[in-house]
Structure 1
Amino acid sequence: MNGWTDDRARQALASLWQAALSAADPLSCLPSFLPEPPAQGRIVVVGAGKAAAKMALAVEKAWAHLPLSGVVVTTHGADVADAPANRRIAVRQANHPTPDAPGAAAAAEMLEQVRGLGEQDLVLALISGGGSSLSTLPAPGLTLDELIAVNRELLRSGAPIHEMNCIRKHLSAFSGGRLAAAAHPARVVTLAISDVPGDDPGVIASGPTVPDPTSFAEARALVAHYGMNLPPAVTAHLAAGAEESIKPGDPRLARAEYRMIATPMMALRAMADAAPALGLTPIILGDALEGEARQLGTALAGIAISAATHGVPVRGPAVILSGGETTVTIQPGTDGRGGRGTECLLGMALALNGRPGIWAMCADTDGIDGRSDAAGALCLPGTLADCGMDCRAALAAHRSYDVFAAANTLMKTGPTLTNVNDVRAIIVAGQQE
């Protein structure tokens, strides 16, 4: 196979993974996007997401001699291990993907930090994926327990992220532009790391600093479409439609700017740039491949087989790259361990059926794939044979994690302190006609 072995493929996939993470590392990509600090006035830093702690550290390093204050919220265990003890931006930790009281308290604290500022002041908002759950603050009349129940239904529904966040924004006192509106008349500059297909600012962390074009009517339609069973108070709130989120043209957002500092496509391009040195010709299928994870895995296997057999869409040795947020629709009676990445990879592995000369990786760049302690996994030609399990039954029960754990191909990185969604890489050694 042109000198390609399991060990060489493993090493290449590890190098591609590191290239993706490096492209999205806040310490390297954030400083060049910072605005000019105000000549007079305060600088208040707020933020929410899986990358929030490292983004805050990047701001503190770049603006080492400026007076800063503020607070950001990230996931438990995702603070920066070597952060200085005398940090100026406080870091709170909360739960993800299920909201909790510390996250709600952090969101309320951020709103309090930005209220009462003047035109000379600057609010720097550091936004990244995971921020929706981490800053869940109920709208007036709702409780956190009710929003936790909503979140559970959203995760079970199989709805894509933009539809989930449409509903979330109409139940929130923080998202849908409300953070930026609270900071008026201060200048608000958002630095964002995208984890969503299309890099829509209104979807990343449910858009706390940008206007929201969606409506209560759209949120109600989505609830009906997916047959969600929501608490009565939530249903009543959506039906009443009392207070829309902040709409385009709202004067309170006139001084709000948005800067995207890292995206899924940037990560994929970094992987493509690293590929030739590894002896691989890269091809990027796209950064917004969505749908059921297992079905996408089957489709990607078909593309890899075509490349191996016919040299289409690329002649090997090559690497087929893609990104995007798939969904996993949980079936009744199943409670497996895993996430989008390993479920996609297991669907791919079953379709490849041990075909030689093809190796694959599916992983979430935040380091946590769904309900697991792994970022994702690798699939080698012998992986399914090595695991000793009924892999089709495991896929039906959403037990993808168990398959790759048994085969010893899980990728355990811990939190990476960034998040540009899932990345997938398939190495095809060469044509096998």
Structure 2
Amino acid sequence: MNLRSDADAIIKEALAAVLPDAAVKKALAGHTFPQGRIVLIAVGKAAWQMAQAVADVLGERIDAGLVITKYEHVMGEIPRVRCMEAGHPVPDENSYAATREALRLTENLTAEDTVLFLLSGGGSALFEQPLIPADELTELTHRLLASGADIVEMNTLRKRMSAVKGGRFAEHCAPAHVFSIVLSDIIGDPLDMIASGPAHPDASTAADAHAIVKKYGLHLSPTATALLDEPLPTALPNVTTQITGSVRELCTAAARAAEQRGYTPVLLTDQLDIEARAAGRFLAAIARTHAGDGASYAYIAGGETIVQLRGKGRGGRNQELALAASDGIAGLDNVAVFSIGSDGTDGPTDAAGGYVDGGTAAALARAEKSAAAALAENDAYPTLNAVGGLIKTGPTGTNVNDVAVVLIRG
């Protein structure tokens, strides 16, 4: 029995199944472009991979292009396309510079021109032209991350502080047509929330934004407070959108890979949105219930958990989920729990997620570490690293939420 090798194989095959290449090419196959210019703008953690797929299909038909992605996510040159890397999860000066370049490339277009807009998760930080001072926006983002606000709450506020979010980028591109291909990283695929909806009308309200400010006790400047009430586009007739990829596909692929290795897959949910450590404890409880059944199972949960920052350690939500499961499965030699972010980066670390099994708690004790102490300091990364529990895939080229799996070998 080698649960770790099974986990690694499931991860590899699940990620391969949700790479955007084939899906982007399929979206293009059914689309015709006017005779005008085609300007390619790709934004997000999967931007390079999506732009490369477009270049493979359209070639010299692309007049100009720009990729804006996370640091260390550019994998090579793309003809006629400039690649720029920027800050994530907090925007930095490179985010602002890259966004200015995108706005420049899409100025003064005509109704015969097309902006081919490729969007994936991470765009909220990477694609930004703030309407408040940059340091104020950075502080707001840090406070939202630390508060445990979910992605929808964060984007409801961030789009109102931006000249490109909440449909404003598509408005800027008019009268050119915007053909948007979106790789979804938010549960339920809400187009107005993915990367804060640069090319989609806003579905949230000013009242929603004020409620989030109140919920988390945020103190905004007068300018930021006034922006909460500024109207965003409610209709964008120059936009066509096609969604490709989702967390359900990731879960389905993980289930298929597990089944090929003799496990009976059980999809628990593809809409997991609770705190990471609670999810870890819940998955450990499932493992305890079924570890003695004599059968092999793979319980699968997809979605995106949240973390409340209480300490000053290093880690990410998938690492916290796995570490939180370790005490609950201690001593069960036929059980493993692992969780990964499909983009290959979990929080501000170089790990995609974490792996624990029935021997992890004992290994931590031998290393004079404890899961509880690490979680109290949000310090999952060095703790898992001490016992070989980090999962490192490198940047994957996709971004469709997270998947957590309980493996039970009968």
TM class by shorter-chain length? over 0.9
* 1:279, distance to aligned residue in structure 2 (A): 1.0
Question: In the alignment, what sits opposite 1:40?
Answer: 35
Q: What are the equivalent positions in structure 2 for 1:411-430 lying under 5 Å apart?
A: 411-430=391-410
Residues of 2 paired with 1:232 and 1:398: CA distance?
Answer: 33
* 1:64, distance to aligned residue in structure 2 (A): 2.1
Matched, 1:118 2:110: yes
* 1:294, distance to aligned residue in structure 2 (A): 0.3
Question: In the alignment, what sits opposite 2:362?
Answer: 385
Matched, 1:146 2:136: yes
Question: In the alignment, what sits opposite 1:351?
Answer: 328
For residues 218-237 of structure 1, the C-alpha deviation after alignment (integer angstroms, 9 at most, x for no partner) is 21210111112444542344
Matched, 1:165 2:155: yes
Conserved 8 A contact 1:180-1:209: yes
For residues 40-72 of structure 1, the C-alpha deviation after alignment (integer angstroms, 9 at most, x for no partner) is 111111121100111111110111242331212
TM superposition outliers: structure 1 runs of 4+ over 4 Å: none
* 1:39, distance to aligned residue in structure 2 (A): 4.2
* 1:370, distance to aligned residue in structure 2 (A): 0.7
CA change 1:64–1:236 in 2 (3 A) is closer
Q: 1:316 aligns with which of 295, 312, 324?
A: 295
For residues 243-268 of structure 1, the C-alpha deviation after alignment (integer angstroms, 9 at most, x for no partner) is 32211xx2xx1131111111111111
Conserved 8 A contact 1:292-1:328: yes
Residues of 2 paired with 1:159 and 1:186: CA distance?
Answer: 35
Question: In the alignment, what sits opposite 1:398?
Answer: 378
Question: In the alignment, what sits opposite 2:169?
Answer: 179
* 1:215, distance to aligned residue in structure 2 (A): 2.1
Partner SS for 2:66: strand
Residues of 1 paired with 2:306 and 2:6: CA distance?
Answer: 27
Matched, 1:296 2:272: no
* 1:306, distance to aligned residue in structure 2 (A): 2.1
* 1:319, distance to aligned residue in structure 2 (A): 0.8
Q: 1:366 aligns with which of 343, 365, 376?
A: 343
TM (norm. structure 1) is 0.90
Q: 2:119 aligns with which of 110, 116, 127?
A: 127
Partner SS for 1:59: helix
Moved more, 162-171 or 220-229: 220-229
For residues 16-36 of structure 1, the C-alpha deviation after alignment (integer angstroms, 9 at most, x for no partner) is 111221122122321001153
Question: In the alignment, what sits opposite 1:209?
Answer: 199
Residues of 2 paired with 1:62 and 1:210: CA distance?
Answer: 25
Q: 2:214 aligns with which of 218, 224, 233?
A: 224
Residues of 2 paired with 1:67 and 1:398: CA distance?
Answer: 45
Residues of 2 paired with 1:256 and 1:317: CA distance?
Answer: 48
Aligned length: 406
* 1:348, distance to aligned residue in structure 2 (A): 1.2
Question: In the alignment, what sits opposite 1:13?
Answer: 7
Seq. identity, %: 38
* 1:109, distance to aligned residue in structure 2 (A): 2.0
Partner SS for 1:352: coil
Question: In the alignment, what sits opposite 1:195?
Answer: 185
Partner SS for 2:271: coil
* 1:307, distance to aligned residue in structure 2 (A): 2.6
Matched, 1:31 2:25: yes
Conserved 8 A contact 2:64-2:80: yes
AA aligned to 1:23 is A
Residues of 2 paired with 1:232 and 1:381: CA distance?
Answer: 53
For residues 67-87 of structure 1, the C-alpha deviation after alignment (integer angstroms, 9 at most, x for no partner) is 331212100100014x45xx2
TM (norm. structure 2) is 0.95
Conserved 8 A contact 1:153-1:230: no
AA aligned to 1:300 is L
* 1:100, distance to aligned residue in structure 2 (A): 0.7
Question: In the alignment, what sits opposite 1:108?
Answer: 100
Q: What are the equivalent positions in structure 2 for 1:62-77 lying under 5 Å apart?
A: 62-77=57-72
Residues of 2 paired with 1:178 and 1:379: CA distance?
Answer: 44
Residues of 2 paired with 1:297 and 1:17: CA distance?
Answer: 18
